[in-house]
Amino acid sequence: MQELQNSPREPLLRALLEKRRRYHAFHPSTWAADLGLILDKEYKPVPPDEWQIKMLDSPSNRICLNIHRQGGKSAMSSLICLHKAMFKPRSLSLIIAPALRQSLENFKKIQEYINLLPEAPEFHEFTKLSMQFENGSRILCLPGGNEGRTIRGFSRPDVIVEDEAAQCSDELFDAILPMMTTRPECKFILCSSPFGQRGHFYKIYTEARGWEKYQLTAYDNPRISKEFLDEMRELRGPYVFAQEYECQFVASDTQLISHEMILKSYNSAIPIIEI
């Protein structure tokens, strides 16, 4: 910025920077790419993948990410929270997971993104559990527990991320929903790999309308080798592997009749006989 001062081109350059900033406000994927926030395993900036561009820039307020283990779903949802905090003053983003350790991992990702910014934002508060930006925006990480008692009391959030959603209880999900009563346009992101044919994550991904749904298996990820996947299949077994790497909602390996088989047995054409 010092190079701009006292330069005859200063007004033009400032106008171009402002135009780019306005563009970034509506295109998070371009913002992340221009600032080099997405890194490969060698910690070198890389452009976002196609699904990441679509998800980051999506205008949808309901997003369900069925992504394989370590596939980047938490990283992308954390980017959404940081982008919202920086471009919408006084916004509120909540990161919720069954346990504090899980939500803290997302929080650490946000801190890593902040460290990569060319100009770090100013903060009024910065702790292990929350950050309040100078523009009034807040990002909080919350342990949801089994019943969601620890998250009650928050209202009008702009972004809610429910991480490991397949392992979050339906009681926790029910505790989240009232937060959006007076802000239904809140961006609600469910991210997880499958965990059986049960719970709200399974039902939303397989049945719910009005949700933008993404699936990425480990075989669709060019950064994961077939040799590694073959090893994991052997070590984890077909049941766990199908869920964590192939994004399949499979019945428990101890379940005699799967949920899918039960659904196939329904036949509405058969009349009900009342006795």
Flag whether 21 is in a domain: no
Flag whether 25 is in a domain: no
* pLDDT given at position 272: 46
Number of other residues whose CB lies within 10 A of the CB of residue 50: 8
What interhelical angle do 100-116 and 73-87 show, nearest 10? 60
Residue 14 and residue 19: Cα distance in Å, rounded?
A: 9
Flag whether 235 is in a domain: yes
Question: Which is it for strands 138-143 and 130-133: parallel, antiparallel or unpaired?
Answer: antiparallel
69 CB burial (10 A radius; 0-12, 13-18, 19+):
middle
Residue 212 and residue 205: Cα distance in Å, rounded?
A: 9
Flag whether 258 is in a domain: yes
Residue 20 and residue 15: Cα distance in Å, rounded?
A: 9
Flag whether 9 is in a domain: no
- Given a contact cutoff of 8 angstroms between Cβ atoms, the answer to whether 189 and 80 are in contact is yes
CA 173 to chain centre: 15
CATH number at residue 92: 3.40.50.300
Q: Which two tokens stand for residue 173?
A: 């999900």
Flag whether 16 is in a domain: no
DSSP output for 60-78: -SEEEEEE-TTSSHHHHHH
* pLDDT given at position 42: 87
Expressed as residue numbers, the domain containing 216 is: 30-264
Number of H helices, E strands in the chain: 9, 8
Structural domains in the chain (count): 1
Give the pLDDT means over successive 10-residue stretches in the chain (275 positions). 59 75 94 94 92 97 96 94 97 91 86 92 91 96 75 88 94 93 96 95 96 97 94 94 96 52 46 48
Flag whether 139 is in a domain: yes
Flag whether 273 is in a domain: no
pTM (whole model) above 0.75: yes
